[in-house]
């Protein structure tokens, strides 16, 4: 049995860290330097997560019980729904992603976080822009361009924030320590470069050029799909590629495969956008190009799946001990699942049934929650203790968070998938009246509201636990996971 396998097989309590090593001191110093901006991002993200969960629950409830709280205009479904999307996509997911990304960049560049003031300014801009935007949405100033509903001024303020983070990212990379560039860094640099371009182009075309007609539809879904594929996916994969090997203690199975996965992701993903508009008023070549590119996605998706699986193989028992590994592995598996589902949805046959139904919403939550959010939770459970210097106080709260999120999202996706399929089959049958179609969806939508309760509860538990960490109420004194910084490393 190899030395590595022997270590992994032994039952153990805590594993002692070699505190005398220079690597340890360097790592501790890097972690410490990240504290301000990362915790700032995370605190904002978690607060938006709570708001977004509440908005999501409200939206869900109104879909099967439209009379609920229907007197006030800001609580109308047509406003709550885009508010929910923008809050969770920009407020929660983007900020959790950025907090994780900057910690990963610092660790992988192996230098302490430089110029934190750039990031702190970015975070302020970001939250101000987003708050103005969400307020505008609720007050009826949304423009109904999905994922880009917020007014120009708030998008511009957020763009400045993105640009600042991108500049910081390049600054860090240029100053990095000599050595190989890790796969996570390719993904993060790509995301930090692609997203401001994406965001900026879309905003200019909408707010300055005042694009209209179907070419706006093309731009809209070029943007919307690329937010998922070239912003959230790279950050999620960067996180998974770091934490899975790091927690298990074994390097990525095939580095060559990760390179293949990276380039094929960039090449194919960005052509997918028009698969949101199959059957719509567009030239056939445009739609077909996106369907073909969607099928080609099988390459990066299988590449990543094989890589992660082979890295984790033989170590699945470690999921029992590490919340980070649990959340990340679930997220990585969800990535494969949601991508394969998405590829199938791009086929004209399936699309004819599922387009315009709740099936699509099930798919989007499988991606943004089961994949991205779960991976973010995993990253946060690893990073936060290393920033605040104490261990999570309550393993029970972590477990409750995990199981509520896990079962919650399974219930949501199942309800919307089966409900959406039924809805689609009914819609496709012209002899079924529209009223009957709607009637058929109600029980599934109610199940989805139950899942919303589970997820909201999970998030409240996580937020409370995080609050405890911020106030240093975690566990101290256990050896290893967190240790006091040696004297020299204390600034």
Within 376-395, the residues that bind other proteins by CB under 8 A are 381-382, 391-392, 395
- DSSP secondary structure letters along 287-338: HHHHHHHHHHTHHHHHHHHHHHHHHHTT-GGGGGT-HHHHHHHHHHHHHHHH
Residue 117 or residue 197: which is nearer to other proteins going by CB? 197
Out of 29, 124, 128, 211, the only residue in the binding site for other proteins (CB under 8 A) is 211
State which of positions 17-36 bind other proteins (CB under 8 A).
17-19, 21-24, 27
* Minimum distance from residue 126 beta carbon to other proteins (Å): 23
Which one of the spans 94-102, 123-131, 150-158, 275-283 is the region binding other proteins (CB under 8 A)?
275-283
* Minimum distance from residue 142 beta carbon to other proteins (Å): 6
282 touching other proteins, by CB under 8 A: yes
Partners of residue 30 on adjacent β-strands:
none
Out of 286, 296, 299, 302, the only residue in the binding site for other proteins (CB under 8 A) is 286
* Minimum distance from residue 124 beta carbon to other proteins (Å): 28
* Minimum distance from residue 219 beta carbon to other proteins (Å): 6
State which of positions 160-199 bind other proteins (CB under 8 A).
170, 173-174, 179-183, 186, 189-190, 193-194, 197
Q: Which residues contact 76 (CB under 8 A, 6 or more apart)?
A: 70
State which of positions 312-341 bind other proteins (CB under 8 A).
315, 318, 320-325
Strand ranges in 13-154 using DSSP code E only, listed in sequence order:
none
**How far apart are the C-alpha atoms of 480 and 465, rounded to whole Å?**
21
Out of 235, 346, 398, 416, the only residue in the binding site for other proteins (CB under 8 A) is 398
* Cα separation values, 300 from 192, 243, 450, Å: 20, 19, 35
Residue 119 or residue 190: which is nearer to other proteins going by CB? 190
Token pair for 168: 């910081």
Residue 80 or residue 337: which is nearer to other proteins going by CB? 80
**How far apart are the C-alpha atoms of 337 and 26, rounded to whole Å?**
38
Partners of residue 391 on adjacent β-strands:
475
Measured torsion, CA atoms of residues 415, 291, 240, 471, in degrees rounded to the nearest 10: -60
Q: Which helix (H) or strand (E) holds 145?
A: none
Nearest to 56 by CA among 77, 19, 81: 81
- DSSP secondary structure letters along 107-136: HHHTSPPP-HHHHHHHHHHHHHHHHHHHHH
Number of residues that bind other proteins (CB under 8 A): 138
* Minimum distance from residue 7 beta carbon to other proteins (Å): 5
State which of positions 52-71 bind other proteins (CB under 8 A).
62-64, 66-67, 70-71
Binding mask 215-254 for other proteins (x = CB under 8 A): xxxxx--x-------x-----------x--xxxxxxxx-x
SS3 76: coil
Binding mask 412-451 for other proteins (x = CB under 8 A): ---------------xxxx---xxx-xx-xx---------
């Amino acid at each position: 049995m190899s030395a590595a396998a022997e270590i992994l097989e032994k039952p153990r309590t805590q594993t002692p860290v070699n505190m005398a090593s220079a690597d340890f001191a360097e790592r501790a110093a890097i972690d410490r330097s990240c504290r301000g901006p990362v915790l700032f991002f995370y605190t904002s993200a978690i607060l938006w997560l709570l708001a977004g969960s509440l908005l999501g629950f409200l939206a869900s409830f109104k879909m099967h019980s439209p009379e609920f709280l229907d007197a006030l205009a800001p609580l109308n479904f047509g406003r709550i729904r885009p508010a929910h999307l923008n809050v969770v996509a920009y407020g929660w997911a983007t900020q959790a992603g950025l907090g994780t990304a900057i910690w990963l960049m610092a660790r992988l560049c192996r230098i302490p976080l430089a110029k934190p003031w750039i990031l702190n300014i970015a975070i302020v801009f970001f939250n101000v822009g987003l708050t103005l935007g969400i307020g505008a949405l609720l007050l009826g100033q949304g423009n109904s361009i999905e994922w880009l509903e917020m007014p120009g001024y708030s998008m511009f303020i957020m763009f400045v924030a993105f640009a600042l983070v991108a500049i910081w990212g390049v600054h860090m990379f240029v100053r990095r320590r000599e050595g190989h560039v890790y796969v996570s860094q390719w993904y993060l640099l790509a995301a930090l470069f692609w997203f401001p371009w994406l965001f900026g182009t879309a905003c200019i075309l909408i707010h300055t050029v005042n694009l209209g007609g179907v070419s706006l539809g093309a731009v809209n879904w070029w943007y919307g799909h690329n937010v998922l594929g070239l912003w959230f996916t790279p950050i999620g994969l960067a996180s998974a590629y770091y934490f899975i090997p790091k927690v298990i203690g074994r390097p990525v199975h095939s580095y060559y495969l990760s390179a293949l996965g990276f380039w094929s992701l960039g090449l194919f993903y960005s052509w997918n956008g028009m698969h949101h508009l199959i059957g719509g008023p567009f030239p056939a070549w445009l739609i077909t190009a996106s369907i073909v590119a969607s099928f080609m996605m099988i390459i990066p998706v299988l590449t990543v799946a094989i890589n992660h699986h082979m890295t984790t193989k033989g170590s699945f028992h470690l999921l029992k001990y590490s919340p980070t590994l649990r959340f990340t592995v679930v997220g990585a598996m969800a990535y494969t699942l949601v991508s394969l589902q998405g590829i199938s949805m791009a086929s004209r046959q399936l699309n004819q049934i599922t387009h315009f139904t709740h099936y699509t919403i099930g798919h989007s939550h499988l991606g943004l929650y089961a994949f991205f959010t779960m991976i973010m939770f995993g990253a946060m459970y690893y990073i936060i203790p290393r920033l605040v210097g104490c261990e999570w106080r309550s393993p029970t709260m972590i477990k409750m968070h995990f199981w509520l999120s896990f079962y919650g999202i399974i219930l949501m996706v199942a309800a919307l998938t089966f409900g959406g399929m039924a809805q689609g089959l009914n819609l496709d049958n012209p002899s079924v009246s529209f009223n009957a179609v709607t009637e058929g969806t109600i029980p599934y939508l109610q199940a989805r509201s139950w899942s919303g309760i589970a997820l909201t509860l999970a998030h409240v538990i996580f937020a409370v636990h995080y609050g405890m960490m911020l106030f240093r109420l975690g566990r101290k004194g256990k050896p290893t996971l967190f240790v006091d910084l040696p004297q020299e490393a204390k600034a």
